[in-house]
Structure 1
């Protein structure tokens, strides 16, 4: 049952969660715009800077499995407060980094905070609002977070061009201070009913699997790891993952129970998130590099070009619930995923002298479609879960989101590096081929969402599931 909130807290809570989303989205969009300048300053290849992004995502993916238990044990208020503090300290460490290794260390510290900030914030919303309001609340809390992508690219480009890339991390600090004060005053302190046991061995197996698979794909993107080492890491990672699920099937309180997948919307939504986000995860890495390295834009110009994408994403949020209510999750996600893949592939046209207004229009369409995709995927994954497994399902979703995005970056980097190996091939052509491949993979993932039933995620679906449980 949802927790009863006083009217003032009910109004403020979505804004508190949105502050955390804003910090992370601002950091990600500013960072992507600044990658070429950071690479030059640190003596790295701009096309191989994906480690800065993957270090954060991998840290988050490793620690998110424990986020639900930590929140249940220590309370959502304390954990959310600590997460904002860790993220802010990591930002400060990145800002004072003097070399590539220090920068990676700062990103890992940020990941410690991000691993708790995202899933705990979503868990608070899941436990305090009725399921029928979930689409509306999820759309609302992500809308202020979309101000980050709106401000981030242009602000990051301006800071890189006229100041220093170190400042892109410092702007997280005042937002973090505001967030800490607001959390202490207004966030409800929710705790789980039973927090006596934690599946430590399962956590080790699951996290080790994620680390090995991610490192193998990251090595593929760098193209510096030997094929033998990458193969061993992939096989070992898949072996640990298989061992985890076999153990979870007979363990009484696993980290993530296989029974979660008895809920069809959760199973389809989770797999859809894993594969459909490959394209969405690659975009923030690819587009700023394409504009700067492929088309010769300045950092400030590349940042300004991303504004239509963020504006359209914000404008689409109010329409998400009416579209889903009218068409259903199956139609929305099946068709929207195809549209997303086509738009990603169409970015390959940017190398053929496309006028500025067409570039902005294309990015605006991409932002609107991407926004609807995120809202629908996240909501359908969680909407039919019962309160008893909401924490576990929410944490697993958060893991999959981070892993899929890191896989997207690694895949894009590997394709870009592979297509760019030919010395006679222009850089812009390597970007075009990469975008076509990423777009094609996204289109193929639409078949996953077609496994939904037309009524899945709707009121009728939830009534049927309650009757099954009661019967």
Structure 2
């Protein structure tokens, strides 16, 4: 049965935005070593480029729904694409690390509104009978981005110039804005309600200061005392928000939802798991290029193997969950995923490239199964009226966890290099970093072990071949 035009064109427009964001993140991590040398900084310091983007995402995701209701979904969506494009151009024009970090933060603001508002547009534009098939279109950019991005970014960086990677977004973004003007209605709510501005300032300020302070520890930009002061200030604001959220009527992030066991396991257990997995896109290209001496293009051609592992997983995930259940899968697969991360630390100069490719391929399978399980379980027991608030909490914690993974990996890598007395990063500096971040995957097991044996069984039995996005 063919899709109605709206059920095809609207998801295609949102897919343009998702593809732009997905490609941007994957081409960047492949180019970080070259970018660091061009800006005159240590490659490890470039973890700030990833953290700044994550902060932009985490800060603005909770308010994107309210902003769309207040100003209109089309207006916000195309503005978000425009902000993302502007951030990309600023990245390309950056001549200092500080300017580049600011540009990445701007991109994060655009990304925070772009994809969530795009999903809102689909929900409001597509008939319910076509909704599932329409949403399936959104999995295409999520799958293609990690396949295309690393080798494309590596090729441009190796044979052209890293600045050109940020121009990839421009035609895609312009096309998305043009299509949005023609095919998306500017739907808004007459009375969107009051935004919790005080809670937003507390949570956003606390998360930003804590994450940025932790990322700056041991770096070249500010002293350690200032970095620690930022962490402490951020921690105080986050504690203040936790207290405030217990008493507010409709807080911007409703932490009371964490009392639901399945949601708690998905968010808290998932946050520990994502700390480990969030480090891999930063550590692996760095290890292949700085540790094993590969070119950016060769590195990208290898790291994209994990995307093929993820794609294969999607063909079997629903069957695995139906047979073993969420609790069993989350506990045992956490061990496999942690082991897959730790194995990356065993690569040494002379390791055959085909061996590395196969290991990275398998390393994409287990984490993707875990992500799919966690993301699906999150909504197993959430009432329909609370889905929006649950999404905000889960999305913010997810982004902070991924950013923490990059930050922790950078700190361990830096400490390993200093303890071994290396002036530049060597291949032997990476195994402690991979080992430490792999332990976070194992740390998620006690949380998921608290799940009842039949948790999420209704969802597992009802799944038929389609899986949620891995991340």
1:255 alignment counterpart: 252
SS in 2 for 1:350: coil
TM-score when normalising by structure 1: 0.89
Is residue 355 of structure 1 aligned with residue 352 of structure 2?
yes
Aligned pairs (5 A) from 1:192-271: 194-220=191-217, 222=219, 226-271=223-268
8 Å CA contact 1:131–1:383 kept in 2: the answer is no
- 1:290, 1:408 → 2: CA distance? 16
Once the two structures are superposed, residues 357-409 of structure 1 have per-residue CA deviations (whole angstroms, 9 ceiling, x without a partner) of 22111111111222222222222223433332222221222211211111111
Shift of 1:423: 4.7
Aligned pairs (5 A) from 1:360-371: 360-371=357-368
2:450 alignment counterpart: 451
8 Å CA contact 1:60–1:402 kept in 2: the answer is yes
8 Å CA contact 1:220–1:410 kept in 2: the answer is no
Relative to structure 1, the CA distance from residue 40 to residue 63 in structure 2 (aligned partners, 3 Å threshold; closer, same or farther) is same
1:391 alignment counterpart: 388
Shift of 1:352: 6.4
- 1:235, 1:133 → 2: CA distance? 49
8 Å CA contact 2:321–2:329 kept in 1: the answer is yes
Is residue 148 of structure 1 aligned with residue 161 of structure 2?
no
SS in 2 for 1:451: coil
- 1:359, 1:132 → 2: CA distance? 44
1:54 alignment counterpart: 51
Once the two structures are superposed, residues 44-89 of structure 1 have per-residue CA deviations (whole angstroms, 9 ceiling, x without a partner) of 1112111111111112211222112112323333222221121112
- 2:91, 2:43 → 1: CA distance? 18
Relative to structure 1, the CA distance from residue 273 to residue 186 in structure 2 (aligned partners, 3 Å threshold; closer, same or farther) is farther
1:344 alignment counterpart: 341
SS in 1 for 2:451: coil
Aligned pairs (5 A) from 1:8-407: 8-124=5-121, 141-187=138-184, 191=188, 194-220=191-217, 222=219, 226-351=223-348, 353-407=350-404
Once the two structures are superposed, residues 393-431 of structure 1 have per-residue CA deviations (whole angstroms, 9 ceiling, x without a partner) of 212222112111111110000000000003546721110
| Aligned residue pairs, count | 458
Relative to structure 1, the CA distance from residue 139 to residue 436 in structure 2 (aligned partners, 3 Å threshold; closer, same or farther) is farther
Once the two structures are superposed, residues 280-312 of structure 1 have per-residue CA deviations (whole angstroms, 9 ceiling, x without a partner) of 211111011100110010111111112321222
**Deviates most, 62-71 or 197-206:** 62-71
- 1:50, 1:321 → 2: CA distance? 35
- Structure 2: runs of 5 or more not aligned: 463-471
Once the two structures are superposed, residues 238-285 of structure 1 have per-residue CA deviations (whole angstroms, 9 ceiling, x without a partner) of 221222122222222211223322332222211123211112211111
TM-score when normalising by structure 2: 0.89
Shift of 1:190: 5.4
| Coordinate RMSD, CA, aligned | 2.9
SS in 1 for 2:162: coil
- Structure 1: runs of 5 or more not aligned: 1-5, 464-471
8 Å CA contact 1:122–1:394 kept in 2: the answer is no
Relative to structure 1, the CA distance from residue 275 to residue 191 in structure 2 (aligned partners, 3 Å threshold; closer, same or farther) is farther
Shift of 1:337: 1.9
- 1:134, 1:7 → 2: CA distance? 11
